[in-house]
Structure 1
Amino acid sequence: MNFPSFGFGSPWVLLLLLALPLWWVARRRRPPSAIVFSRAGTLAESPRRGQWVPRLLFLVRNLAIAGLVIALARPRSGGRTEESLSDGIDIVIAFDLSSSMLAEDFQPENRLEVARAKIKQFITMRKNDRIGVVAFSGEALTQVPLTTDYPVVLAAVDNLQPGQLEDGTAIGTAIATAANRLRSAPGRSRVIVLLTDGVNNRGAIDPRTAAQAAGQFRIKVYTIGVGSRGLAPVPVGRGLFGLRYENRPVEIDDSLLTDVARMTGGRYFRATNAQALDEITREIDRLERTPARTHTYTRYTELFRWPLGAAVLALFMELGLLAWRAPLL
C-alpha cells in the first residue's frame, strides 16, 4: 500500500484490522448481560443512566487496538527508491605541477592558471560521473579519490601549486597512479585525462609501459600537451622582484603523448592557447558517454509514533473509565 508521499513499511500487518469487524459482529450476537451496572444507586436513579459507559469503553478499546496495529505497520512518508539510466564515467584527472607550468605563454595568465580554470570548467560540466585528481611532477600523489562530491574536487584543483611535489615530469608514474585508482572502479567507462607541458624525465615507470598496463584494464588515456610552439617565458629562478623568466624552447613530447593515447584507445590533443584548451575539454566531454544504472535514495520519515500515541491515550481512557464506572462484563 503506497501513495506518492505516504506508505507502510509492513503493510501486511494491516490485515489484523479485519479482526475488528468480526469482533463487532460477535459482540452484537452475544446475549445482553442481565446486570450492566456496577452500582445499585445508579440503577435506582434511572434505568438509562450509565448506558453510555459500555459504548465508550468499546469505542476506546477499538481505537487502542487499531492504533497499535497501524503503528506495527510502520507508516512513513516522503521516501522512495528510484532506479534510472544515466550517463556516468569514472575519470581521474592527472595534473602536471612541474615548475614549467608557470610559463607565461598563455597571456595574460600562465599555463597553470589557464589549465586550472579549464579543468574546473570541465568538472562542472560533469553529471553522475565519479572524478578523482592525481597531481604529479617528479612524483605522483592522489589528491582526491573517485567521488561525486564535485565541490571537494574543485577545492582540490584550486589548491594545486608547483612546489608541492619534487620537481620534474614523471608521466609514467602519473599514468600508473591514476590507473591504480581506476582499475577496480565499478563503471564500464574509465578515463584518464593527463595534462602536461613537458617531456618524461623522472620516475622509474616508462610511460608506454604504464599505458599498456592501463589498456589491459580498459582504461582510456586522453593526453593534453599544454604549451605554445616556439619560445616561451619560463621561470628559471628567483630574483629581487619574484620569479625570473627566460625565453626558452617549448619542449613537449608529442610523439610520446600520442603513443600513450593510441595504445589505450584515447586521443592526444595539443593546446597552444586558452581557447584551444577550452575546445579540447569540451570535445572530451562529448567523446565519453556510457549508460550507467544509478539509484536515488530518499530517507523516510517514520510516523508510527502518532498511531502509537493515540493507542496509548485510548488505553489510559479505558483504564480511567473502568476505575470510574466499570460495568460488569
Structure 2
Amino acid sequence: MFRFADPWFLLLAAFVPLLVWRYLVRRRGGEGSLRFSSTMAMEGIRSSWTVRARHACFGIKMIALVLLAAAMARPQKGLEEEEILTEGVDIMIALDASGSMAAEDFEPRNRLFVAKIVVRTFIEGLRHDRAGLVVFAGKALTRCPLTLDYGALLRVLDDVQLGMIEDGTAIGSALAASLNRLRLSKARSKVIVLVTDGVNNRGEIQPLDAARIARTLGVKIYTVGVGSRGLARFPVTDPTYGRVYMNLPVEIDEASLNRIAETTGGTYYRATDRPSLERIFQEIARLEKTKIEVKTYTHYRELFGGLLFPALALVLAAVLAESTRFAKIP
C-alpha cells in the first residue's frame, strides 16, 4: 500500500508551470548588455557550451522543486498485518486411497481423482481455518498436520495416488490418526471429514471406538460414503489380457458410517456422483463456520529521504554552477 501522508504539499508542484512561464517572459524581454566600440576582434569566435546550456540551472531548480514538494508530502509504503483474535475451525480430512477408489463410476476418471478435486476446492475456500490430511488404505498415514499453509496442503493432496499404501480399508486407524492431530487443539470447533468407499477391514482400532473417543474430545465427524449404487466399473489387471474392466457390487458400510457421525454429532452423507460430492462439501463448509475477529494493522515506512536528498543535491549543484561556470555579470 502506497500513500502520501500530507498530500497538500503536492500543490507546490503547481507553481512550476508558473515559474517556467515567468522565466520565458523574462527571456523574451531581453537581458542586460555591454557596448563595445568594435566587435571585429570577436568575429569568428564560437559561443562556448556554457552559453548553450545556460538554461540548465533553471531546469535543475524546477526538478528540485518538484522533488521537494513530493518529499514534503511524505510518501509512505505500508505493510498490512493481521492479528487473529479468535480461533477458527480445525479440520482433519481423512481420505481413502484404497484400491476400490479406482472404480470409474465418477466422471471424468475414478473416485479418488474426483475426491481430490472436490477436497481441493474445499481447502481453497478456507480462510483462518487450519486443515490437515490423513490418507489411509490398509493403514493410515498423516500426510499433512494442521496448518494454515494451504499451498503446502494442496501440494500434498496432489501427491496422493492409488497404491501408495498397502491395500485395505482401515477406517478406525484413519480416525485415530486424525484425532491424534486434534487432541491438543484449542479451536472452538474440531472436525474430521472422513471420505471412504468401503468397509473397515484392517487396523486394530474399531471405527465406533474411535468415534466415542472423538465425542469425549469434542470432535465432530462428518462421514462421506463415495460410490454409485448397484454395480460399478472396476479396472482389473489380467495376466493374459492386461487391463480389463469388471462390474462389481458397490459395498459401503453405510450403517457404520451413520453411527460414527451420529455418535459425534456429525452427519453421514452419501455421494453417488461428482455433483453430489461437491454439494456435500459445500454443505459441510456452511455448517462449520465460526465468527473470526481480525484486527488489521498497517505499518508505514517513510520514503521521503529518497526524494529529499536528491532535491537538495540538485539545488546545491545549481547554486555552485551559477556561482562558478555559469556566473553572469549583473
| TM-score band w.r.t. shorter chain | 0.5 to 0.7
In the alignment, the residues of structure 2 paired with residue 234 and residue 112 of structure 1 have an alpha-carbon distance, to the nearest angstrom, of: 13
Closer, same or farther: CA 144–208 of 1 in aligned 2, 3 Å: same
- TM-score, normalization by structure 1: 0.65
Does the Cα contact within 8 Å between 1:99 and 1:235 map onto a contact in 2? no
Q: In the alignment, residue 274 of structure 2 is paired with which amino acid?
A: A
Change (3 A) 1:295 1:215: farther
Mapped to 2, the partners of 1:110 and 1:247 lie a distance apart of 14
Q: CA RMSD in A?
A: 3.2
Q: Tell me if structure 2 keeps the 8 A contact 1:5–1:78.
A: no
Rounded to whole Å, the distance in 2 between the matches of 1:96 and 1:143 is 12
CA contact (8 A) 1:86 1:128 kept: no
The TM-score with structure 2 as length reference comes to 0.65
User: Does the CA-based 8 Å contact 1:5-1:79 persist in structure 2?
Assistant: no
Matches within 5 A, 1:275-314: 275-294=275-294
**Is the Cα–Cα contact under 8 Å of residues 97 and 137 in structure 1 kept in the other structure?**
yes
**Kindly tell me: are residues 211 and 5 of structure 1, through their superposed partners in 2, closer, same or farther at Cα, counting changes over 3 Å?**
farther
Matches within 5 A, 1:161-200: 161-200=161-200
Deviations 1:16-63 (A, max 9, x none): xxxxxxxxxxxxxxxxxxxxxxxxxxxxxxxxxxxxxxxxxxxxxxxx
Residues 293 and 104 of structure 1: CA distance in aligned 2, closer, same or farther (over 3 Å): same
Using a 3 Å threshold, how does the CA distance of structure 1 residues 203 and 88 change in structure 2: closer, same or farther?
same
Which whole-Å CA distance do the structure 2 matches of 1:118 and 1:92 have between them? 15
Residues 1:78 and 1:205: Cα distance change in structure 2 (over 3 Å): same
Name the residue aligned to 1:57. Answer: none
Partner of 1:319: none
Mapped partners of 2:4, 2:178: distance in 1: 43
Residue aligning to 1:49: none
Match of 1:226 in 2: 226
**Structure 1 residues 186 and 157: CA distance shift in structure 2, 3 A:** same
Q: Alpha-carbon deviations, 1:127-186, whole Å to 9, x = none? A: 111110000001001111111111111111111011111110000000000011011122
SS in structure 2 at match of 1:291 = coil
Q: Are the counterparts in 2 of residues 122 and 285 from structure 1 also a CA contact under 8 Å?
A: yes
Alpha-carbon distance change, 302 to 168 in structure 1, aligned in 2, over 3 angstroms: farther
1:155 correspondence with 2:155: yes
Q: What CA distance in whole angstroms lies between the structure 1 residues aligned with 2:199 and 2:299?
A: 51
- Pairs aligned (count): 242
Aligned counterparts of 2:281 and 2:274: Cα–Cα separation in 1: 11
Structure 1 residue 146 corresponds to structure 2 residue 146: yes
SS of match in other structure, 2:269: strand
Aligned twin of 2:262: 262
AA aligned to 1:272 is T
Separation in structure 1 between the aligned mates of residue 122 and residue 192 of structure 2, nearest angstrom: 13
Equivalent residues of 1:104, 1:110 under 8 A apart: yes
